[in-house]
Structure 1
Amino acid sequence: MVGVATSRSESDLSQDASTTTRATILGVVAALAGLMFGLDTGVVSGALPFIAQDFHTSARMQEWIVSSMMAGAAFGSLIAGSISTRFGRTGAMMGAAALFLLGTFVCTFAPSPAYLICGRVFLGLAVGVAAFAAPLYISEITVESARGAMISFYQLMVTLGIFLAFVSDGFFSHGGHWRWMLGVMTVPATLFMISVLFLPHSPRWLAMKQREGQALKVLRLLRSDEEVAQAELASIEARLNRDTGAGWNLFRREPNFRRSVMLGIILQVMQQLTGINVLMYYAPRVFQAAHFGTSAAVWATTLVGLINMAATGVAIVFVDRWGRRPLLMLSCAIAAISMAGVGILLAIGGDSLGIQIGLVGFVLLFVAGFAIGEGPLVWTLCSEVQPTRGRDFGIGCSTVTNWAANWLISNTFLTLMATLGSSGTFLLFAAFNALFIVITLTFVPETRDVSLEAIETNLFAGKRLRDLGR
């Protein structure tokens, strides 16, 4: 379909193209992968204190229980690109759904910490594959005018999963029923598996596999009219016909592609250095450091999940109105200030009501700041800046980096707290958030209302990274 002629310019078609109701529904179904991601991320926070009591685990073993999922996710994201290329984005999500069920079963009936770690590695593999495939699928079925909101919706589902896991943990915490906390994940995992059966393949993946007829059929379902579908397929094929290789070969030969890969890696490292997953995994421990009781700490953690979800909804509303850069810089500033506030209050110490209220307030402010930008927009940008032939490889590199950094932080946080102290640890995270502002100003492009093909053209033309959307 490369030679299809149209009566309107590509920019006109881009403006006319609107995501159909069907495309939106398919994007929402794919975003259920984020729900599973969030559930398995959040559930360990409330379960960990009771697991530690039952198995008499040390702080170091608790770090391994938490971080084992990140190690699995790092490996899962490493192989996700090849799985996604061979079986499609939907095939990758189906494999992830099966791993979610397997991991949940092993964790629920684990007779020892070793089995629990094994089960969480399976869950990590599932998360790594799903976190790669779902945002990629959403970016490839959605038009540019709604792409930011739809990928941010994936992040909203992550936060919904975290919140629901915290709520579930709160209810089961009264009896210390950590196996129920973990076992209830079977229900959403089954629903996710069934839902993926109804997803068509991505038109870009079908075009990569030279299945143009099927790609056009899917585009007809997703776009507003026949002319838009034909023009988009022609644009996709034009990019695929570039004789620059794919994946590693493209990375080795093309310095401009190396720039986009490095940008994705930098963004993912900085997202993890914000400190968000410290709160997601160890929030009860943080609140206990401020003299909260165990049950009160779990419910305070639930409030963290609620704010995280609500603020991500704000990002969905404004990401395609304000743009990526302004929202991201605002997010970084809020996160830096609030992390500094947490560090200062922990340095003051004491168990007064004022200190406790102030600590909760700064934690919630940080979570809100992260959720409006640093959380969803990093995933959005990482899926937008990679060229078609290198998208699997580029997103794979950034996703592996995300989970490797996640593992490193989750595996060392309790040790870091013991070494630097609670106050010093959070002041360090405040500094990292401030550094993220500088990185955003220097490297991050504004991609609002810009087609993936236009971003790719600018990349290979050698434009500066921050100018890819111009």
Structure 2
Amino acid sequence: MNAVATSPHKSSRATAVFTCILAALAGLMFGLDIGVISGAQQFIQKDFGIGDNTIGLIVSIMMLGAALGALVAGWLSSQLGRKRTLILGAVLFVGGSALCGAAWSPDVLIAGRIVLGVAIGLASFTAPLYLAEIAPESIRGAMISLYQLMITIGILVAFLSDTAFSYSGNWRWMLGVIAVPGALFLLGVFFLPESPRWLMMRNRQPEAEQVLHKLLGSNDAIAREIGEIREQLKTPQRGVLMFFQNANFRRSVGLGVLLQVMQQLTGMNVVMYYAPRIFQGMGYDTESQMWFTAIVGLVNVLATFIAIGLVDKLGRKPILYIGFVVMTLGLGVVGTMMHAGIHTQGQQFFTVGMLLIFIVGFAMSAGPLIWTLCSEIQPLKGRDFGIGCSTFTNWVANWLVGISFLPLLNGIGEAQTFWLYAAFNAVFIVLTFWLVPETKGATLEQIECNLMAGLPLRQIGRHPAAAGTPEHLGKQSAYSQDAVS
């Protein structure tokens, strides 16, 4: 009897986990397209006979496409539904990869990269949203973290694929082979259920209950989830109006934008996009460049687990401090080694080691935690708008970093370029101290109340007892009454 009684729950949990894993594969496609250009660019440059400015455009244009995709993703996911938007993203992944692989000119390759960028923009907005809405509460955090992990795994797989094809120098296979996992992802997305929350937004409660029955199994759990969704839908999104009317909300949007600029100016994506070029500057041949690039991807994956394991124990700010200090030292030493000259194998290995230490610093801190903070600091009524602004900023800053790196290398030199990024990371230590709140253990409601009460940004994660001056409590009370009305 016990086995029979528990099997529906186990079956529902297995269905929920499988559904979430399938949706999280959007992160894998994201990572594949981010990483694949790193190993292909030197062969593209040789085949087409193009200069650094053109190759920089080919590398970075995808990020502008992603910014465009992120801009329309909110509207599409609202109008078409989360599932159809993911299907559209999967179609663009396949089409863009095929176009890149078949590109007969730099212009066609640029067009294919734009298509892939739009796909990434759609996926980077819709997949985490879908996971948050589809995953049962008991596994929701793990499933959203799985999406971030899939991105790093996708980058690693792309680096390994590039390494395998590098022996023949066939960049078309490097770029085109991604259409295969894209097609499998597209096939899998058709089997995903629609988000119950979106179905409820469309007044399709019977269909929402059918989906929840597969995911939760228990009638009590279904009724509770339906009730929670109804309560959430009572709070309409008024982000644009709030932005113009509420100075405190503008502060949280501004902080979200700043955090994304900080993440991009760490220099991490420079390493992801141009790793073989960086290793070339250290004196390595093509084969070694590709294998060290693959090692970069592996370290990025493994170090991500550090953040997952420590974020709720140490808190956000201590990990960010550690990360920015490590990144400052890592890039500073790399720049110094390049300035002094890398002549021996020992010097080469030491420089590579310091670059890998930089990777660890990013993957354990600014990589995942910036996204976490950007979602925590926005008030409920403006959350979609605030996160949309920070996501758009991420892709624009990503594009600027990608397109400016080679001109910096050619203009001020390799050592000076790495020193510049090291200096950025040193500045971010100070900005973290003055502006970034510690949100560990604080509820989203507490953060929102502190923000709207006018506390300094670095204090909005404080608990009421710590922030409870009479003036603050009065502002909290006034805000609560305004929120209710």
Which interval holds the TM-score relative to the shorter structure? 0.7 to 0.9
- Name which of structure 1's ranges 309-318 and 286-295 shifts more when overlaid on structure 2: 309-318
2:23 corresponds to which residue? 30
CA distance in 1, matches of 2:195, 2:447: 19
- Name which of structure 1's ranges 383-392 and 344-353 shifts more when overlaid on structure 2: 383-392
- Summarize the alignment of residues 19-98 of structure 1 with structure 2, pairs less than 5 Å apart: 22-98=15-91
Aligned length: 451
Relative distance call for 1:227 and 1:209 in structure 2 (3 A) is same
Q: Give TM-score, length-normalised by structure 1.
A: 0.87
2:62–2:114 contact (8 Å) kept in structure 1: yes
2:307 corresponds to which residue? 315
Would you say 1:100 and 2:79 are equivalent positions?
no
State the shift of 1:457 in Å: 5.3
2:327–2:422 contact (8 Å) kept in structure 1: yes
> Deviation string for 1:102-149 (max 9, x for gaps)?
101111111011100000000011011111112233334457776554
2:331–2:354 contact (8 Å) kept in structure 1: yes
- Name which of structure 1's ranges 227-236 and 51-60 shifts more when overlaid on structure 2: 227-236
Relative distance call for 1:408 and 1:361 in structure 2 (3 A) is same
Q: Give TM-score, length-normalised by structure 2.
A: 0.85
State the shift of 1:198 in Å: 3.2
State which of 348, 360, 374 in structure 2 corresponds to 1:368: 360
> Deviation string for 1:53-93 (max 9, x for gaps)?
11001111111111111111111111112112222333322
- Name which of structure 1's ranges 101-110 and 190-199 shifts more when overlaid on structure 2: 190-199
1:442 corresponds to which residue? 434
Query: What's the RMSD between the two structures over aligned residues?
Result: 2.7
- Summarize the alignment of residues 398-417 of structure 1 with structure 2, pairs less than 5 Å apart: 398-417=390-409
Whose relative contact order is higher, 1 or 2, with alpha carbons under 8 Å and at least 6 apart?
1
1:380 corresponds to which residue? 372
1:152 corresponds to which residue? 145
Relative distance call for 1:277 and 1:126 in structure 2 (3 A) is same
- Summarize the alignment of residues 241-260 of structure 1 with structure 2, pairs less than 5 Å apart: 241-242=234-235, 246-260=238-252
Would you say 1:190 and 2:183 are equivalent positions?
yes
Relative distance call for 1:211 and 1:414 in structure 2 (3 A) is same
- Name which of structure 1's ranges 397-406 and 29-38 shifts more when overlaid on structure 2: 29-38
Percent of pairs with identical residues: 50
- Name which of structure 1's ranges 149-158 and 101-110 shifts more when overlaid on structure 2: 149-158
Relative distance call for 1:157 and 1:445 in structure 2 (3 A) is same
Q: Which runs of 5+ in 1 are unaligned?
A: 1-18
* Counterpart residue type for residue 363 of structure 2: A
Relative distance call for 1:215 and 1:329 in structure 2 (3 A) is farther
Q: Which runs of 5+ in 2 are unaligned?
A: 1-11, 464-485
Would you say 1:419 and 2:436 are equivalent positions?
no
- Name which of structure 1's ranges 209-218 and 370-379 shifts more when overlaid on structure 2: 209-218
1:152–1:380 contact (8 Å) kept in structure 2: no
CA distance in 2, matches of 1:179, 1:360: 28
Runs of 4+ in structure 1 over 6 Å off: none
Relative distance call for 1:419 and 1:96 in structure 2 (3 A) is same
SS of structure 1 residue aligned to 2:192: coil
2:346 corresponds to which residue? 354
State the shift of 1:299 in Å: 1.2
2:158 corresponds to which residue? 165
1:337 corresponds to which residue? 329
- Name which of structure 1's ranges 404-413 and 380-389 shifts more when overlaid on structure 2: 380-389
Relative distance call for 1:146 and 1:464 in structure 2 (3 A) is farther
State the shift of 1:221 in Å: 5.6
1:447–1:468 contact (8 Å) kept in structure 2: yes
The higher radius of gyration belongs to 2
* Counterpart residue type for residue 78 of structure 1: L
2:237–2:384 contact (8 Å) kept in structure 1: no
